[in-house]
Amino acid sequence: MGPGDLMDVIESIRGEALDTTSARVLVGPGDDAGVYLIGDTAIVETVDFITPLVNDPFTFGEISAANSLSDVYAMGGRPIAALAIAAFPSCTYKTEVLKEILQGALRTMKRAGVVLMGGHSLDDAELKFGLSVTGTVDKDKILRAGGAKEGDVLILTKPIGVGILTTALKGGTFGDEKIEEAVKWMRTLNAGASELALKAGASACTDVTGFGLLGHAYNMVRDSQIDFVIYADAVPLLDNVMELAEDGMCPGGAYKNLKYMSDKAVFSGAVNMQERLILADPQTSGGLLMAVKEANIEVFRASGAYHKVIGKVVNGSGKIAVEKKK
């Protein structure tokens, strides 16, 4: 399933099963999270869970929680409470493993100021963990995936390549010590990046996760009159990612994402297959991708926070152009 496929299904049943026309629904399906107005309070709702991508249960819990909280930050909101969701193979793992995962998640939630309200677990063949998250957002300052303006620049707040590195870990090519940089970024909350996006007056914002940089960028231009130009050589990569991609260590999700983008992205001949796969590589707890006025890049520079300018917004028809800047 590609980044637009689920939305096509939702659109097809909207009239039958979904009441998203209420004035209380400020943001419905199609964005990173939904926003619902209760009185004067705008509530952000989202849910996400993932399978393990590191060996240590505590670290997996930390990463999964950060990944789940990210959608609230992508909307310009602040997460406040969450429910835990766990699919647990009781015949494969001891309950101590689930306890460690929860402890890791609680550490991340404590850093974010989020309260765990409860949760639900089920016996499943594959281990999965995540959170259903509730947050709040200023109803007049909601960040949305759509809305980028011609002339804006594109900013990315974390390097990419997580899927490739964790594939190498699972395949025994790398040990845990080789993905410490990736783990650091996956643990990093997008709270600061979200605050900077609001301060810079971002016209559009999303977080980069399972559909890769290209898939999430496409969701920002889908059905619009703009295109994104992404400079492949300006996109920041985690250490060893290019070498691993050249060795064929790309996850199946990267190929699937790239196939989905086949009629939605136009690649310069200078962008080789490895670079294309990296741009389609599924991320976990990735950074924010946002469109801001060029003059407002100074907000990020002055903050000292990690960020890279990776492209620009031009007039178009809802496509992604991938080029080399140099």
Co-location of 163 and 265 in the same domain: yes
Q: ∠ at Cα 179 (240, 209), nearest 5°?
A: 90
| Within a domain: 272 | yes
The Cβ-side half-sphere exposure at 181, using a 13 Å CA radius, reads 13
- How far apart are the C-alpha atoms of 253 and 282, rounded to whole Å? 6
The answer to whether 182 and 162 are in contact (CB under 8 A) is yes
Percentage of the chain modeled with pLDDT above 90: 86
137-183 per-position pLDDT tens digit: 999 999 999 999 999 999 999 999 999 999 999 888 777 888 999 99
- Counting the structural domains of the chain, the total is 2
What is the end-to-end Cα distance of the chain in Å, rounded?
A: 34
Mean pLDDT of 295-316: 97
264-299 per-position pLDDT tens digit: 999 999 999 999 999 999 999 999 999 999 999 999
| Within a domain: 145 | no
Strands 320-323 and 265-267: parallel
Co-location of 95 and 164 in the same domain: no
Co-location of 303 and 165 in the same domain: yes
Co-location of 126 and 159 in the same domain: no
Co-location of 163 and 34 in the same domain: no
The helix, strand and coil proportions of the chain, stated in percent and rounded to the nearest 5, come to 40, 25, 35
4-38 per-position pLDDT tens digit: 555 566 556 555 555 656 789 999 888 999 999 99
| Within a domain: 158 | yes
Give, to the nearest 10 degrees, the angle between helix 180-187 and helix 162-170.
130
| Within a domain: 143 | no
Q: Where residue 87 sits, what CATH number does that domain have?
A: 3.30.1330.10
User: How many CB atoms within 10 Å of residue 120?
Assistant: 10
> Domain of 170?
153-323
Last residue of a domain, one of 72, 104, 137: 137
Q: Where residue 174 sits, what CATH number does that domain have?
A: 3.90.650.10
User: Nearest to residue 166, comparing CAs of 56, 47, 85, 306?
Assistant: 56
Q: What's the pLDDT at 114? A: 98
Co-location of 37 and 67 in the same domain: yes
- How far apart are the C-alpha atoms of 25 and 103, rounded to whole Å? 34
32-81 per-position pLDDT tens digit: 999 999 999 999 999 999 999 999 999 999 999 999 999 999 999 999 99
- How far apart are the C-alpha atoms of 225 and 237, rounded to whole Å? 29
